[in-house]
Amino acid sequence: MPRRRYWLFKSEPSTWSIDDLAAEPGGVAMWDGIRNWQVRNMIRDEIRVGDGVLFYHSGIRQPAAVGVARVVREAYPDPTQFDPRHPGFDPRSSREAPRWLAVDIAFEHRLARPVTLEQMRGVPGLEDLAVLRRGNRLSITPVRAREWRLVLRLADA
């Protein structure tokens, strides 16, 4: 059995928040709209059912990890790429050869306290966390198991 992996999924709460995920039927929703090849490849090749997700609010005054989810459906064609009315429409994509993928995630819980970007910066053991790297704009990044545990510990401290 493959080992569980961990990820940080970033979203601007004005677009899609942890509360939006929690409010979905069964707390399950499609994570769509990925239009970056590197992230698409992670979705296709690495993200698996059962993997843990740190839900991270970005684009706000104090960006922070705010909740935990898990992957419940592996990569499948993102339907928004086919919808000409959707901002994620891609005219170069076809149903026979889709370019973009989505996964489904399920809400598990909100963190007891948000763990801000600033808090993470000062914690030994988190210095390699991708979200802390200058210029990193990827919406999904891998998280090591020890980094996952450290962030969850900070939320409970």
The CATH number of whichever domain residue 138 belongs to comes to: 3.10.590.10
Mean pLDDT taken over the chain: 96
> Residue 5: pLDDT above 90?
yes
Domain, as residue range, for 62: 6-151
Within-domain flag for 157: no
Lowest mean pLDDT across 10-19, 78-87, 128-137: 128-137
Six-digit token string for 108: 């598990």
The pLDDT value given to residue 135: 82
Model confidence, pTM? 0.94
| pLDDT of the residue at 137 | 87
In a domain, 116, yes or no: yes
Is 14 inside any structural domain? Answer: yes
> What pLDDT score was predicted for residue 124?
96
Neighbours of 113 (CB within 10 A): 14
Per the structure, the count of domains in the chain is 1
The verdict on residue 109 lying in a domain is: yes
Segment 131-157, tens digit of pLDDT = 999 888 899 999 999 999 999 999 997
**86 membership: H or E segment, kind and range:** none
Asked if the structure places residue 129 within a domain, the reply is: yes
In the predicted model, is pLDDT for residue 1 greater than 80?
no
Number of continuous H segments (helices) and E segments (strands) in the chain: 4, 6
**Domain-embedded: residue 39:** yes
Residue 1 counted as domain residue = no
> Distance (Å, rounded) from C-alpha 157 to C-alpha 136?
27
User: Quick one: which of 3, 40, 16 has its CA closest to 107?
Assistant: 16
pLDDT at position 112: 96
